């Protein structure tokens, strides 16, 4: 299998506060994260709100600079790229957001929205070429070319997300980072978007990183799963059948599973105390919530290791 993306010891530290009444505080939104993504795979990233999923996504695409660590994409050191080659590389890796229109001018027509990525890259096109390209991209995501002259507010949530995907596909990417692309859609529309993404992956040989709160959806859609807790990857499930080895993953699975799909959309806050990311305990960050915690867990931080099974960061894996 060819490695498309390789992330090594990636960290992002945010500093806040300062001034007379607000002491400077710092926290690691992403902490020493390492993983690889092989070409053609769908890698899920799950974890509760605030665990660092979107920060990880932005670091991978170099939309923000890491505090430390490396990202290699298509065998190139991403962090060593000067602005111009970086811009060209960015075409190969695109992001789809939960709300595709948060970043788009509502006065743009759909045609202009889907051809905007070409303008950003400085690709010149005649009006006729742009019409043709926009019709092509809309058809790829299952929208008729009549939508070209519509405005965002005239589209449904699912249609808007299709436009978001069309924009992401415009420059022929190899990797799409999908940050909760279906979280704001209802279940039937969510299913349509997932099947569109499956179809596009096959047709265009795409690789996906799929961020979601919905572990059941991730289990359906992804080939492998990274579980994050307070900035760290605590378990890397190599396939969707693998049983959880980390008590946190186990708890997540128990909390999100419900036979009724309408009731298992999000990870509910779990019981127990979540440590402040600004003041993490010395040992395992999950210890205060973990039924299996021992004294060792409270003093020694477990590192991601794969003794006796797939990678897990736990002193007493299941």
- Positions touching ligand SF4 (CB under 6 A) are 246-247, 284, 286-287, 290, 292-293, 297, 302, 314-316
Of 203 and 273, which CB lies nearer to ligand SF4 in the complex structure?
Answer: 273
As measured in angstroms, the least distance from the Cβ of 233 to ligand SF4 is 13
- Closest among 59, 85, 73 to 175, alpha carbons compared: 73
* Burial class, 308, CB count within 10 angstroms (exposed 0-12 / middle 13-18 / buried 19+): exposed
As measured in angstroms, the least distance from the Cβ of 3 to ligand SF4 is 29
Residue 109 structure tokens: 């027509």
Binding segment for Mg ion (CB under 5 A), chosen from 40-48, 53-61, 161-169, 274-282, is 53-61
For residues 239 and 7, give the distance between their C-alpha atoms in angstroms, rounded to a whole number.
19
One-character DSSP codes across 171-208: T--SEEEEESTTTTS-HHHHHHHHHHHHHHHHHHT-EE
Q: What track of x and - describes contact with ligand ATP for positions 271 through 300 (by CB under 6 A)? A: ------x-----------------------
CB 1 within 8 A of CB 38: yes
182 binds ligand ATP (CB under 6 A): no
For residues 102 and 138, give the distance between their C-alpha atoms in angstroms, rounded to a whole number.
20
Of 47 and 117, which CB lies nearer to ligand ATP in the complex structure?
Answer: 47
CB 60 within 8 A of CB 177: yes
Binding segment for ligand ATP (CB under 6 A), chosen from 42-50, 100-108, 145-153, 187-195, is 42-50
As measured in angstroms, the least distance from the Cβ of 289 to ligand SF4 is 8
292's contact among ligand ATP, ligand SF4, Mg ion, none, with CB below 5 to 8 A by partner kind, is ligand SF4
- Closest among 95, 219, 75, 259 to 161, alpha carbons compared: 95
182 binds Mg ion (CB under 5 A): no
49's contact among ligand ATP, ligand SF4, Mg ion, none, with CB below 5 to 8 A by partner kind, is ligand ATP
295 backbone dihedrals φ, ψ, rounded to 5° = -60, -40
54 binds Mg ion (CB under 5 A): yes
As measured in angstroms, the least distance from the Cβ of 14 to ligand ATP is 4
270's contact among ligand ATP, ligand SF4, Mg ion, none, with CB below 5 to 8 A by partner kind, is none
Beta strands in 135-261 (DSSP E): 175-179, 207-212, 224-229, 232-237
14's contact among Mg ion, ligand SF4, ligand ATP, none, with CB below 5 to 8 A by partner kind, is ligand ATP
- Give first-to-last CA distance, the chain, whole Å: 29
Residues 6+ apart with CB under 8 A from 41: 1, 207, 208, 223, 224
Of 147 and 248, which CB lies nearer to ligand SF4 in the complex structure?
Answer: 248
173's contact among Mg ion, ligand SF4, ligand ATP, none, with CB below 5 to 8 A by partner kind, is none
């Amino acid at each position: 299998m060819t490695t498309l993306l390789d992330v090594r010891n990636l960290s992002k530290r945010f500093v806040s506060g300062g001034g007379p009444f607000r002491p400077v505080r710092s926290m690691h939104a992403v902490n020493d994260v390492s993983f690889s993504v092989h070409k053609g795979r769908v890698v899920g990233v799950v974890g509760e709100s605030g665990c660092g999923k979107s920060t990880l996504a932005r670091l991978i695409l170099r939309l923000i600079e890491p505090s430390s660590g490396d990202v290699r994409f298509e065998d190139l050191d991403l962090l060593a790229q000067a602005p111009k080659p970086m811009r060209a590389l960015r075409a190969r890796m695109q992001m789809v957001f939960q709300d595709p229109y948060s970043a788009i001018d509502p006065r743009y027509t759909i045609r202009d929205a889907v051809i905007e990525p070409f303008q950003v890259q400085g690709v010149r096109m005649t009006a006729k070429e742009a019409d043709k390209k926009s019709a092509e991209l809309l058809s790829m995501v299952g929208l008729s070319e009549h939508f070209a002259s519509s405005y965002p507010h005239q589209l449904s949530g699912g249609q808007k997300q299709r436009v978001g995907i069309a924009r992401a596909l415009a420059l022929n990417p190899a990797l799409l980072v999908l940050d909760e692309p279906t979280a704001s859609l209802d279940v039937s529309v969510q299913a349509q978007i997932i099947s569109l993404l499956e179809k596009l992956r096959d047709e265009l040989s795409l690789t996906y990183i799929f961020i979601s709160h919905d572990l059941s959806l991730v289990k359906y859609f992804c080939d492998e799963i990274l579980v994050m807790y307070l900035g760290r990857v605590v378990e890397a499930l190599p396939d969707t059948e693998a049983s959880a080895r980390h008590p946190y993953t186990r708890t997540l699975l128990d909390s999100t599973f419900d036979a009724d799909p309408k009731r298992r959309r999000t990870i509910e806050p779990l019981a127990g105390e979540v440590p402040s990311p600004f003041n993490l305990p010395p040992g395992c960050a999950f210890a205060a919530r973990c039924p299996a915690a021992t004294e060792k867990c409270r003093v020694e931080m477990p590192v991601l290791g794969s003794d006796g099974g797939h990678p897990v960061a736990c002193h007493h894996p299941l």
